Amino acid sequence: MSLNQFLNRRMLRRARQNLDGRSMDQIGTLCLLSAAAVCFGGMLSGQVFLWIAAFGLAILGMGAHVLSPHVEARRLVNQARQLAALGRLRQALLCTNRAIALVPDLTSAFVVRSALYAGIGQLDMAVDDAEHAVRLSPRHPEARLARARMYSRYGLHEDAILDLQVGLDEQPDWAAGYLECAYLYVRLQEPEKALEALQSLQKRVRAVPSRYEAYLLAGWICEEKLKDLEGALNAYNRAIALQPERRTGYARRAALYTARGDRLQAAEDWLRAAKCPAQAFERARSAWLRAVCYSKRYALTRETADWQLWRQALEVSAREDAEPFAKRARAMLRLMTEIRPTAFPPRPSLYLN
């Protein structure tokens, strides 16, 4: 791909992100006015190509006006998703209501609104929206997922799996469908089938984050449900190999090493976890997570250096993290310095692996 092609694609992507219904209306009006002007010029000059240009501009203008509510509705749905990610569910709900008022048959709006209703505890309305989304798009994976989650809330796990299978038949590389199936099989006390669903994900899905989550879930199933520590360790190793910059894999493996009595290996993994860069979803608590990792390592090593790193991470968390985590950090710092000042750190001790 040439530099010009890359820049053009990037500009088009930004244009789509910034486009809304008002912009489409303005584009449509501009095209219609331009069509009128060109048509007038064609009448004066008698040139055929001006008539053709005017006809094309008129078609573009009318198309822009027709597409305007759809563009605005999709923008509102995306905005609702962003607001929901920030926990502003009521505002997100207003966005989906406006989107449905503009385009009453927009499946994605009903899917998002179903999740929002469930988030605020209005389950009956959430079920109605999920059912309506499936009626609008019977084979749409996201619509099937919305209804499957409603079924699961009421204990209808088998019906939920049937819905997910329809979505997977329509989109064989649908990572969310495989993961949801695995969770449902765990609830049905069928861990072997859950592992089969995760293996299907590994075969058909290429997205690395989805495969990482699948390996973590497989490791948890092996560890907690099947008591297969070697299988769990193998799954965690594969997850870490996929995304060595993410701390969750190291944390899971460290806990497994601790359960096996491999304290040295566990301490090393907690150190790796502490040094991992913060992911986008961890930024509000990055220093707190680092402090947790150092505290876990200190519990294994009892070394003064680890205690100091733990304390430093807490001090950063108290200054920079979001308030809930900063509050926890300040409480732990008070425990270290005021309540039990002689208990931190104890004398370093040696241990056998």
Does residue 54 belong to any structural domain of this protein? yes
Q: Report d(CA 20, CA 102) in Å as an integer.
A: 13
Q: Of the candidates 284, 281, 308, which has an alpha carbon nearest to the alpha carbon of residue 295?
A: 308
Asked whether the CA dihedral 55, 59, 60, 62 is positive or negative, the reply is positive
Residue 265 has which token pair? 């290996």
Burial of 126 by CB count in 10 Å (0-12 exposed, 13-18 middle, 19+ buried)?
A: buried
How far apart (Å, rounded) are the C-alpha atoms in residues 274 and 248? 10
Q: What percent of the chain has pLDDT over 90?
A: 61
How far is Cα 228 from Cα 221, in angstroms, rounded to an integer?
9
Q: Which residues, in sequence order, are CB contacts of 234 under 8 Å at separation 6+?
A: 219
296 in a domain, yes or no? no
Q: Give residue-wise pLDDT tens across range 28-47.
A: 455 444 555 545 455 555 55
Please give the structure tokens belonging to residue 81: 């998703």
> Residue 127: CA atoms inside 13 Å, Cβ hemisphere, count?
11
Length of the chain: 353
Q: Which residues of the chain have pLDDT under 70?
A: 1-70, 339-353
| 91 lies in some domain | yes
* Residue 34 in tokens: 């331009």
> Is the residue at 198 inside a domain?
no
Residue 121: Cβ-neighbour burial (10 angstroms; 0-12, 13-18, 19+): exposed
Answer for the pair 270, 294: CB distance below 8 angstroms, yes or no: yes
Going by C-beta distance under 8 Å and a sequence separation of 6 or more, which residues neighbour residue 342?
A: none
Omega of the bond prior to 341 within 30 degrees of 0, cis?
A: no
- Cα–Cα distance, 44 to 38 (Å, whole number): 10
Is cis: bond before 345, omega within 30 of 0?
A: yes
Please give the pLDDT value at position 343.
58
Residue (of 337, 304, 333) closest to 319 by Cα position: 333
Note whether residue 121 is domain-resident.
no
Q: Is residue 64 part of a domain?
A: yes
Listed in sequence order, the residues at least 6 apart from 296 whose beta carbon sits closer than 8 Å to its beta carbon are 251, 254, 270
Residue-wise DSSP of 11-68: HHHHHHHH--HHHHHHHHHHHHHHHHHHHHHHHHH--HHHHHHHHHHHHHHHHHHHHH
Distances (CA, A) of 132 to 4, 116, 127, 155, 292: 44, 15, 9, 20, 44
What Rg value do the Cα atoms of the chain yield, rounded? 28
Residue 53: inside a domain: yes
d(CA 85, CA 30): 36
pLDDT at position 74, please? 82
129 domain-assigned: no
Q: Cα separation of 246 and 208, whole Å?
A: 12
CA dist 177 and 171 (Å) reads: 9
117 is written with which tokens? 């209703």
Per-residue model confidence (pLDDT) at position 39: 53
pTM of the model: 0.77
Which residue range is the domain that position 31 belongs to? Answer: 16-104
Number of domains in the chain: 1
